[in-house]
Amino acid sequence: MNSNSSLIDKTFMNTLLFLLFILVSGCLYAQNSTSKHFKVESMSEGVYAIIHSPGGYAICNAGIVNLGEETLVFDTFLAPGAALDLLKIAVELTGNPVKYVINSHYHNDHIRGNQVFKPSATIISTAVTRELMAENEPKEILQEQEYAPQRLTQLKQEYETETDEKTKKSLLMWIGYFEAMVESHAILKTTLPDVTFSKSLSIHGSQREAQLFTFDLGHTTSDLILYLPAEKIVFAGDLLFIGMHPYLADGNTTHLVQDLMQLKTFDIEKVLPGHGEVGTSQDIDLMIKYVNQMNSLVERLAAQNVSSEELEQVHIPEPFDSWEFSNFFRLNLKFMFNSYAR
């Protein structure tokens, strides 16, 4: 073997080892994210669930989908700082630029990272979601600037004295929520979607198709889901919470059950909720059971003509008493009770 062939063999081996290192690093990254705001879980080849970490500034879950030559990101978190990590990881995992960003609905924890993806990405939402963002975001940000610093201080004090681990975990999530607000307000720019649609929209890449469908009047006035038909994967946004009490006070529970029943008609193997871990269609059934059980509870309480004080004493029914976001149970109960009374 001459010196030239030896050099070629050495170069080939170095290149092969480098490519193997990149491949292994990518797999490890998908399992053990270095971001303090979230963890990354592979749902299929080129499809990733980005799941909020307690204390981080993501707050909601997000998704990354490799379309082929471009990448799609589903929801952008509460804080631009967390969204910067999301953008970085999306490019690292797929090797492609982020071309599309989807906003599932108008709530702050799903949209405020939008600014990080401009100007290169196109932001997409329903037409109603864009209107709600334009109307509500400026007012909400001004209100938050007034109350968020004080609330953050209170939560930190509660955390220091709390001894129950489940309660401490919940407090840690809310500390991250208000901390993200306080730290991001100075740089926050409301960034509205560029493209809107009414019923459905398909995005075709060289490797896969991503389908968007609207669901009205359930969680909010307008929500959308992302469906990957080849992989049978759904990114459900806040139409679905898994292992956590959902937030029902901005929608209609009758319509929400109808939306969830419609979601069940999709061929689903995996589903990413807006909050919680990756699940299956069985978790949609459990969410339907939660809403129906809440409706039955409210009807029974209304028939008993209970007072506001008595509502505070109602216990969380099984099997939902072990779910996180337990403060949402009381909020949901009061909202639904008052709506029923009207």
Residue extents of the structural domains in the chain: 34-341
Q: 42 pairs with which residues across the strands?
A: 48
Report residues of the chain scoring pLDDT below 50: 1-8, 10-32
For residues 79 and 112, what is the distance between their CA atoms, to the nearest angstrom?
Answer: 6
* SS3 track for 139-193: HHHHHHHHHHHHHHHHHHHHHHHCCCHHHHHHHHHHHHHHHHHHHHCCCCCCCCC
CATH superfamily, region 34-341: Ribonuclease Z/Hydroxyacylglutathione hydrolase-like (3.60.15.10)
Segment 21-71, tens digit of pLDDT: 334 444 444 444 579 999 999 999 999 999 999 999 999 999 999 999 999
The pLDDT, as a whole number, for residue 1 is 41
Asked if residues 283 and 240 have their Cβ atoms less than 8 Å apart, the reply is yes
Measured in degrees and rounded to the nearest 5, phi and psi for residue 166 equal -65, -40
Picking from 120, 128, 174, the residue whose alpha carbon sits closest to that of residue 151 is 174
The pLDDT, as a whole number, for residue 308 is 82
For residues 232 and 67, what is the distance between their CA atoms, to the nearest angstrom?
Answer: 15
Asked if residues 234 and 271 have their Cβ atoms less than 8 Å apart, the reply is yes
The pLDDT, as a whole number, for residue 340 is 78
